Amino acid sequence: MIRRRDLPAPPPSSEITPEAVYLDRRAFLRAAGFTGAGAMLAACGAGRQPTSTATPAEAQADELGNPSTDVEIVTSYNNYYEFTTGKQGVADLAESFRMRPWTVEVGGLVHKPMTFAIDDLLASLPQEERIYRLRCVEAWSMVIPWVGFELGRLLDQVEPMTSAAFLGFTTLLDPDQMPGQRSPEYRWPYTEGLRLDEAMHGLTLLATGLYGEPLLRQNVAPLRLMVPWKYGFKSIKAIVRIDLLEEPPATFWNTIAPQEYGFYANVNPEVDHPRWSQASEVRFGRGKRRDTLMFNGYADQVAGLYAGMDLRVNY
């Protein structure tokens, strides 16, 4: 069973804490009860894994008994190429990123194309907490209490046509705010894709926050996909557009290096990345390596989606 918890309906926008408060992530950490020297990460050199002795105010664990990763690690060690290719420092670079107004346009092969404002999504769809493992293709992992809602709830509203078989997701393109997008090395904006049945699966979330907090720029900003049985690069941040499609869309990493980053990207200990093994992973803040679990431990829920497929070919 996946642990889930319904969250109370969000307060009316008049009662929402001014955005300026969220700009100060130190204030967020203090407000969340993460105080004291132990809660602040020691500076990590590039490539070193973060460690922390912080004890979360409210210890939480996933359904396998894995404790959630310290919030300071989750919010200060990020992959977010729109800001930097470094892992540390995303939070600072993203500090003034504007998350309002924010809309997500859903179109393509749908009967009712719609544009949703983030505040309407927060108010109209019940937000729940799900504790999911996040497994990066780089062989590190975290356990994170996400806040969000099932993507399927949003898709129901736009009524996909029977010809729709895939989804394409697109991140905001705004090089003024996202300095990494000025780099000609990559093909911007970041894009990702799912099969429609993967998108409709009950585990697939559109995340709006984590650790009970909305608006975490470096992790969510302000709407992000979370597909827990796939490598983290599928979980695209800062989504502004979703298209329902007949064919699989071109995606950011798959376009750059198709032999390294497949369209499916299901976590699979038996299919190595061409440059490293995927048989084991480092759980940040928890020391030694552990075995990678098939579909990141969600095989009971999702293996059926891939029945009859050769997962070495469809990696």
Site residues, ligand MTE (CB under 6 A): 78-82, 134, 136, 171, 190, 219, 232-233, 235-238
Nearest residue (CB) to ligand MTE, 160 versus 189: 189
3-state class (DSSP) for residue 132: strand
Nearest residue (CB) to ligand MTE, 109 versus 263: 263
Nearest residue (CB) to ligand MTE, 75 versus 127: 75
Nearest residue (CB) to ligand MTE, 127 versus 181: 181
Q: Please list, in sequence order, all residues whose beta carbon lies within 8 angstroms of the beta carbon of residue 147, skipping any fewer than 6 positions away.
A: 7, 127, 128, 129, 207, 208, 209, 210, 211, 212, 213, 214
Contact 109, 245 (CB under 8 A): yes
Nearest residue (CB) to ligand MTE, 237 versus 283: 237
Contact 79, 233 (CB under 8 A): yes
Nearest residue (CB) to ligand MTE, 109 versus 220: 220
Rounded least distance, CB 226 to ligand MTE, Å: 9
Rounded least distance, CB 90 to ligand MTE, Å: 7
| Residue 6: Cβ-neighbour burial (10 angstroms; 0-12, 13-18, 19+) | exposed
Nearest residue (CB) to ligand MTE, 160 versus 219: 219
Of 158, 160, 181, the closest CA to residue 245 belongs to: 160
Of 296, 263, 264, 260, the closest CA to residue 281 belongs to: 296
Contact 224, 206 (CB under 8 A): yes
End-to-end distance of the chain based on CA atoms, in angstroms? Answer: 26
Rounded least distance, CB 135 to ligand MTE, Å: 8
Nearest residue (CB) to ligand MTE, 109 versus 315: 315
Rounded least distance, CB 75 to ligand MTE, Å: 8
Rounded least distance, CB 14 to ligand MTE, Å: 30
Q: Nearest residue to ligand MTE, using CB?
A: 232
Rounded least distance, CB 4 to ligand MTE, Å: 20
Rounded least distance, CB 87 to ligand MTE, Å: 8
Nearest residue (CB) to ligand MTE, 109 versus 137: 137
- The three-point CA angle 106-154-69 to 5° equals 110
Rounded least distance, CB 84 to ligand MTE, Å: 9
Contact 298, 228 (CB under 8 A): yes
Q: What is the DSSP letter of 80?
A: B
Contact 25, 92 (CB under 8 A): no
DSSP string, 164-202: --EEEEEE---TTT-GGGG-TTS-SSPEEEEEHHHHHST
Rounded least distance, CB 76 to ligand MTE, Å: 10
Contact 213, 196 (CB under 8 A): no
